[in-house]
Amino acid sequence: MCGIVGYVGPQQAQHVVVEGLRRLEYRGYDSAGVALVVPDGTGPGRIAEAKKAGKLANLEKVVADSPLPASHTGIGHTRWATHGAPNDVNAHPHLGHERRVALVHNGIIENFAELRSRLEADDHVLVSETDTEVVAHLVELQVQSGVDLTTAMQRVCLVLEGAFTLVAIDAHDPERVVAARRNSPLVVGVGEGEHFLGSDVAAFIEHTREALELGQDQVVCITRDGVEITDFRGRPAEGRRYHVDWDLSAAEKDGHDWFMRKEIFEQPKAVADSLLGRRTQHGLLQLDEMRLSDDEIRDIDKIIIIACGTSFYAGMVAKYAIEHWTRIPVEVELSSEFRYRDPILDHSTLVVAISQSGETADTLQAIRHARTQRSRVLAICNTNGSTIPRESDAVIYTHAGPEIGVASTKGFLTQLVACYLLALYVAQVKGTRYGDEIDQIMGQLEAIPEQIETVLAGAQQVYDLAAEHTGARSVLFLGRHAGYPVALEGALKLKELAYLHAEGFAAGELKHGPIALVEEGLPVLCVVPPRGRDQLHEKMISGIQEVRARGARTICLAEEGDTKIEPYADVLVRLPQVPVLLQPLVATIPLQLFACELATLLGHDVDQPRNLAKSVTVE
Ligand code: F6R
């Protein structure tokens, strides 16, 4: 997730901003930059800026080689690429047409393509591929028309769609930094004769512990002595003032004990961001970055999904959705197995490679093999510019932001979203679903972030459950249909974090062997499908009855209003009502919370489990 810093005060802005960026490094990034207002005693000032792909050290080298002038007002940014590759040109800050305004941005501007074409029609030259540069041009146009930077920002925010934190400086106004936020975080640091802006308090807690959190759709102007907040229409507004008593490590985790827990709680936003900008003005689904023509999509007669670990389970869910919505046969295979079995591939096979990191060696080798067989490869990836999307024919980026905890959480949920989008897009192109059906499913997907919030609001119940199971030696997970990969994912999370024996099964498979494992008191977590489709629910209840009759303690995840499950559940964790194909998006959350909490109680390092690495770059 991008990091943002702003400063105005007596100190050297470059120093404060770069130090702030260093404090935000933990968020993950692929380039960094800084811009300063350099006043000119006699006339309007100018913007001085430096930016560089790679780590902050690269930027520091640039400013060491060509030092920036002294300044007391500046902004900085660490970028996690979404629109456009991670390179020097796409790095922030971006400047307006006349280099009067410099701006940094975190988030996604959904209508940037339309805004960009309008600017280009007016002879604006945009040098980067980013959505951010468009906003820099728009803000500059406003200040050029005579309004101040605050008003300019308010006006521009009214035409932007999507999620954003924006921070800007104006060369003609050296005493202020102006920022805005919608669906993306922004905090003001309140100092003595100086003020700060940050994507989180880590950016400035070495200077001040007094913070002001901005509300939704607000604009803030900071000067040395003041903070002024308005809404996008210029009406006075207020932020939430608080004192930060966290240490730096807690500040980085937004007050959570682990990055993993923070990332679990970020999932409503991660899912919402992954859905942003996916529909045209006319309601049609669009996957901008996908790069497969409609003809190529119509030619597909088989899909093979390859992935490892958690991403493989996302692929298993995808199979249910793709086959149901598109009627194209789908195989799902572990990357490490795929290329060594001589798979049958040709130009009408689409290979979908799912990888959060984009660097997993097994998956990379598998896609290289698929391409030698003339198959087209589509990557679903969270890391812009990583090797897997670079070596694929097409890509859908998930917008989870960097995932720091080794165990994948928001990466998994956003992979699911990308898979649903792919399935619906293919259905749209091939005409296997009517437009209004696709529209209805998109509406259901768009409701998911709020439903995840409800699940997260019930976290305490899951934590209590974890506390009851610190002595467990083994835990089983059961699911059916799209709930089966969720069961596998729940078991994987518990294995990797709590180092406990955990296994996931398709509930119908139990009686064919695994039921022999069941003994008195064995905890069995059951992902109960929603009621009313293909007897799935009834069949699942039979499976639950079977284990309960043999002494298992059944912990059932079931939708609100499901009363039939009550007699068979020793513990009932409620889920929001969602269609069966989308249920993994809500049912996975309690399992993530369970594993995270149990591992914490057992004293394990949740973010760095033993023997594991975040990206596995060896076969
Ligand atoms: C489990 C986990 C791993 C990864 C797997 C694939 O929590 O994170 O199982 O899912 O190593 O990694 P990517 O998706 O980066 O290819």
| CATH number, domain 3-248 | 3.60.20.10
pLDDT at 74: 97
Give the chain's end-to-end CA distance (angstroms, integer): 28
How many helices (H) and strands (E) the chain has is answered by 19, 24
Contact 545, 568 (CB under 8 A): yes
Atom of ligand 1 nearest to the CA of 615: 15
Cα gap 402→458, rounded to integer Å: 25
Distance (angstroms) between ligand 1 centre and the Cα of 311 equals: 6
In the chain, list all ranges with CATH 3.40.50.10490: 259-446, 457-601
Identity of the highest mean pLDDT range in 13-27, 54-68, 533-547, 554-568: 554-568
Mutate to test the pocket of ligand 1, among 258, 333, 352, 356 (most ligand atoms within 8 A of CB): 356
Q: What is the mean pLDDT of residues 73-99?
A: 92
Contact 238, 217 (CB under 8 A): no
Cα gap 502→557, rounded to integer Å: 17
Cα gap 118→114, rounded to integer Å: 6
pLDDT tens figures, 343-365: 889 999 999 999 999 989 899 99
Which neighbouring-strand residues pair with 57? none
Cα gap 400→170, rounded to integer Å: 31
pLDDT at 421: 97
H/E element, 210:
strand 210-213
- Please name which of 62, 76, 74, 71 lies closest in space to residue 32, comparing C-alpha atoms: 76
Contact 212, 227 (CB under 8 A): yes
pLDDT tens figures, 146-200: 999 999 999 999 999 988 999 999 999 999 999 999 988 899 999 999 999 998 8
In the chain, list all ranges with CATH 3.60.20.10: 3-248
Cα gap 82→31, rounded to integer Å: 12
pLDDT surpassing 70 at residue 516: yes
Q: What is the mean pLDDT of residues 257-278?
A: 94
pLDDT tens figures, 595-615: 999 999 999 999 888 887 776
pLDDT at 107: 87
Cα gap 334→308, rounded to integer Å: 6
Burial label, 162 (beta-carbon count in 10 A; 0-12, 13-18, 19+): middle
Tokens of 392: 């694929």
The protein residue with its alpha carbon nearest to ligand 1, atom 10, reads: 310
Answer whether 218 contacts ligand 1 (Cβ < 6 A).
no
Cis check: omega of the bond before 93, within 30 degrees of 0? yes
Distance (angstroms) between ligand 1 centre and the Cα of 60 equals: 33
Distance (angstroms) between ligand 1 centre and the Cα of 257 equals: 22
- Please name which of 193, 235, 267 lies closest in space to residue 459, comparing C-alpha atoms: 267
**What phi and psi, each to the nearest 5 degrees, are found at residue 93?**
-70, 155
Give me the active site residues, please: 2, 614
pLDDT tens figures, 369-421: 999 999 999 999 998 878 899 899 999 999 898 788 889 999 999 999 999 99
Instruction: Return mean pLDDT, the chain.
Output: 93
| Domain 457-601 homologous superfamily, CATH | Glucose-6-phosphate isomerase like protein; domain 1 (3.40.50.10490)
Distance (angstroms) between ligand 1 centre and the Cα of 617 equals: 11
pLDDT tens figures, 546-557: 999 999 999 999
pLDDT tens figures, 27-85: 778 899 999 999 887 778 999 999 999 989 999 999 989 889 999 999 999 998 877 88
pLDDT tens figures, 275-297: 998 988 788 898 877 788 999 99
pLDDT surpassing 70 at residue 533: no
The protein residue with its alpha carbon nearest to ligand 1, atom 13, reads: 355
pLDDT at 573: 98
Fold designation for 259-446: Rossmann fold (3.40.50)
pLDDT at 72: 96
pLDDT at 444: 97
Q: What is the mean pLDDT of residues 578-597?
A: 98
